Every structure is written in C-alpha cells, then in structure tokens.
Amino acid sequence: MRFELTKEYLEELISSIENNDVAQVKKYVNDLHPADIAEIFDEIDIEHAKFIYLQLDEEASADVMIELEEDIREQFLQVLPAKEIASVLDNLDSDDAADVIQELSESKKEEVFMHLPDVEQAGDIADLLNYAENSAGGLMATELVSINENLTVTECINEIRKQAEELDEIFFVYVVDNDEILQGTLPLKKLLITNGETKIKNICDSGVIAVKTNTKSDEVANIMEKYDIVALPVVDSIGRLKGRITIDDIVDVIREEAEKDYQMISGISGDVESGDSIVHQTKARIPWLVIGLFGGIFGALVIGGFQTQLGNFPKLAMFIPLIAGMGGNVGIQSSSIIVQGLANNTLGFESTFQKLLKELSIALINGLICSGLLMAVSIFFTHSFRFTLTASVSLLSVIIFASLFGTFVPLSLNKFKIDPALATGPFITTTNDIIGMLIYFGMGKLLMGI
C-alpha cells in the first residue's frame, strides 16, 4: 500500500521522461501520494521534475508544491507564470498558500494576488502575511468550521454541510458566540449521538485551550505536545476565533527546532543533508571551522607564551589535549542540559544562582573522580609526583570552570533574547581550550617551579 522509492523506479521513470512518453510517466506517478512525488523531485534533475509536474492535475500539483523541499520549490516558483501560481494557491489551505506566496518577490506577489480567483481567500492570505512567521498567526490556517452556540444540533449539521464543502477534513467544530468570541469545541461524535433539538451551547466542551495570534511557535508546540492537542484554535486579543493550527504543522516545528539545536552543537550552520551539493555542504561547514581555527591560533599564542616552561620541561605538552578535550566535553554537557531545558520549558523554578551551585556540586564530584583517576594512572608513567599533581589539579579546575561557564553562558544568552544554543557551538569549546591552557601552564609554573 505504501510507495518505496527505489533506484530502479527512478531510472525507469527518467528514461520514460527522456523518451517523451507522457502516457508512461502519467502511469508512473498517477497513484502516488503528493509527498512521494515531492520525494522523487528531490532526487532528479529540475528539468525532469518539471516534465512530471506539468502532467499533474490541478489539485495534485498544489499538493506537491507544498510538499517540495524549499530550494526546489523556489526553482519551480521562478519559472511558473503568476497565473499558474495563483491557480495552485487556490487549491491550498490558507496557511500553506501564505507560506508559498511569502517566497515570491514583491512584484510577483502582487501579480499572483491579482490572479487569485477567490477574493475571500485572497483576503485571508493577505491577512496571514501580516503575522510573524514564527508565531501562532503565522502557523494557523483560516479554514475551519465555526458554529454559533445558539444553533440546534440539526441546524448545526446543515451549517457544517455548507461550510465543510471547502475543507478536506474536519476534526473539530468550533463554537462561537454572537461576537465571534470562541466559546468551546464540539467533537463531531457528539453531533452523531445527540438529539437534533438540543442547543449546541449545551453540548459543547467549554474547557477549550486556545492561543493568541502572537504566541511564539515553540510555545505553541509545547502546548500542543503537553496537552495532546490535534487542532488548536487561535484567537485575537479579545478572544475572537481567527484560525486553527493542526498538529502536522507542529510536528514540523518540533523537528525543525530539534534539528536547529543539533546543527548548532555539531557546528553546522543551516539545513544540510548528506545528499546536498559539495558547495552547499562546504558553505554550511566552513564558518564554524574558521571560528575554531582562530580560537586554535589564539590558543597557540597562549602556549607560545609558556615557551620557557616547555623548554625546561617538554613533557608538559603531554596533557595538553587531555586538559583541552575534557574542558570541551564538560562544557558541552552543561550547556546542552540548559539548552534542552530552555527548549522544553523544563528548567523549573531554581534561580540562576541555585543552578550554578548545583552545577558546582556536580562538577566537584565529576572533577574529583576524573582527577583521582588521572592521578592514579599518571604517576605510573610520568614517574613524577609534581607533574602528576599539576595535571590532576588542572583537570579539576578546568572541569569546575567549564561546568560553571557552560551553565552560565546559555542562561545569559537567553536572558538577552539570543539563541542559547549558540553556547553549544565552538565558542564555548574554544574558550574552554584557552582557559584550560592558562590554568594548566599556570599550575605547572606554580607547582613545579618551572
């Protein structure tokens, strides 16, 4: 029942396209889900993709458009005439249509608006464009079924029939009062099992959870996830029903948030996939490498300042990677716990000071274990108590510093409304490297008198 994209399938499809065999191509893609067609487009040349796209019927081409990866959609939008785009938008939900239209140039945007056949939908889309992209308003669609609370069940069913014609599926019916203020939801199930004369007011669920149009998208995601909500109504500042957000859009938000944080911690800027071009991948990876490089050069200068010590005792170099590496590891651990806590809204009620105090205790335990182990092992092959002591005390100090620093930085970034995930990037690691070297060589000077 489910389509699995194979290399063989692709090869046959491409050869049909190259033979200009329209009937065969149609046969290949006719029964596919739009998401599968979009997946095929991701794997083949844009020219081949266009050939297929032109064979699709109106509704399918709209559905494929919204499933496309952003870079491929951009290429499509550039070549399609405004009239064609307008007819695609006409087949989309308002939120998807707004997403597509946002990717157009200003002049093309206007042209497309002029060609939109349904004035009401054009108005809805234009309204949606006013909301910030990462807000509930930017995520919501205006297509929904809303019913006045004073109708009876029978009147309500008639009204739903009327409103539902334009909708793919209905999960909830929203109940509003005479001022369009959201009063509750009406599960379709209740319509099926309630007497026709009953007033909607008396059977609707009034404990409905809603968000404001300006609620941030990550908060929307947290709410829908926490309360297991499939479709969340969005209201304006006085409570009037403006739209609804469905869980599939939120799944994308959750996935994107997680990927963004993952990319940050792995030192990659932007959305990169293994299949992306060499240039695209290089662009996403080089910035962090250059930052790391300059951090490393700075570290080299710091070590260069301790040449006398290194000359007197060359073995000192032995623990440089260990001290630097452990500082990095500990720092990333601490920051990532804070970053995840901020993302999931699970940081609890401890103050920054309490958090740092707790982190200090953890660092002390971890630091004592690690430096104790290092001491036990190092004495065997360095044969020097002072050198062993220098390495161990430095390790303990670095672990404590890196823990506190790794906790403090993301909390501070967040306070200044900067993405706290920045703290898991190369900045922290590089700073820890440098501080680590200062501590280690300082200790060497102090404890070994070199």
Judged by CB under 8 A, the chain residues 37 through 76 that form the site for a copy of itself are 39, 43
Q: Which of 110, 259, 418, 446 binds a copy of itself (CB under 8 A)?
A: 259
Write the binding mask 120 to 149 for a copy of itself: x where contact by CB under 8 A, - elsewhere.
------------------------------
How far, in Å, are 318, 385, 442 from residue 449 at the CA level? 18, 13, 10
Q: Which of 19, 282, 352, 412 binds a copy of itself (CB under 8 A)?
A: 282
Write the binding mask 345 to 364 for a copy of itself: x where contact by CB under 8 A, - elsewhere.
-xxxxx----x--x--xx--
- Six token digits for residue 280: 């695209």
The answer to the question of residue 318 lying near a copy of itself (CB under 8 A) is yes
Between 88 and 116, name the residue whose CB sits nearer to a copy of itself. 88
Q: Name the segment binding a copy of itself (CB under 8 A); options: 81-89, 108-116, 136-144, 296-304.
A: 296-304
Between 54 and 301, name the residue whose CB sits nearer to a copy of itself. 301
- For residues 345 and 222, the answer to whether their CB atoms sit within 8 Å is yes
Between 22 and 289, name the residue whose CB sits nearer to a copy of itself. 289
Q: Which residues contact 312 (CB under 8 A, 6 or more apart)?
A: 450
Q: Secondary structure of 219-237 in the HEC alphabet? A: HHHHHHHHCCCCEEEEECC
Between 123 and 292, name the residue whose CB sits nearer to a copy of itself. 292
Between 52 and 437, name the residue whose CB sits nearer to a copy of itself. 437
Q: Which of 329, 386, 422, 448 binds a copy of itself (CB under 8 A)?
A: 329
Adjacent-strand bridge partners of 244:
141, 233
Q: Which of 78, 262, 352, 449 binds a copy of itself (CB under 8 A)?
A: 262
DSSP result, 374-405? HHHHHHHHH--HHHHHHHHHHHHHHHHHHHHH
The answer to the question of residue 398 lying near a copy of itself (CB under 8 A) is no
Site for a copy of itself in 413-442 (CB under 8 A): 424, 426, 429-430, 433, 437
Return the CA Rg of the chain.
30
Shortest spacing between CB 126 and a copy of itself, in angstroms: 25
User: CA dihedral in degrees (152, 157, 162, 168; nearest 10)?
Assistant: 140
Adjacent-strand bridge partners of 135:
216
Q: Name the segment binding a copy of itself (CB under 8 A); options: 97-105, 120-128, 131-139, 225-233.
A: 225-233
Q: What does residue 182 show for φ and ψ, rounded to 5 degrees?
A: -65, 125
The residue whose two tokens read 């403090």 is 408
3-state secondary structure of 172: strand
Q: In Å, how far from its chain's centre is CA 92?
A: 23
Q: Positive or negative CA dihedral for 26, 32, 34, 40?
A: negative
Q: Name the segment binding a copy of itself (CB under 8 A); options: 22-30, 97-105, 131-139, 373-381.
A: 373-381
Q: Which of 54, 79, 114, 188 binds a copy of itself (CB under 8 A)?
A: 188
Q: Which of 90, 123, 146, 267 binds a copy of itself (CB under 8 A)?
A: 267
Q: Which residues contact 23 (CB under 8 A, 6 or more apart)?
A: none
Q: Which of 85, 128, 220, 324 binds a copy of itself (CB under 8 A)?
A: 324
Nearest to 436 by CA among 386, 402, 409: 402
Q: Give the total of residues touching a copy of itself (CB under 8 A).
A: 129
The answer to the question of residue 4 lying near a copy of itself (CB under 8 A) is no
Q: What does residue 211 show for φ and ψ, rounded to 5 degrees?
A: -120, 160
Site for a copy of itself in 238-257 (CB under 8 A): 246-248, 250-252, 254-255
Spatial separation of the C-alpha atoms in residues 224 and 216, rounded to whole Å: 13
Q: Name the segment binding a copy of itself (CB under 8 A); options: 73-81, 117-125, 186-194, 442-450.
A: 186-194
Site for a copy of itself in 76-95 (CB under 8 A): none
Q: Which of 285, 375, 379, 427 binds a copy of itself (CB under 8 A)?
A: 285
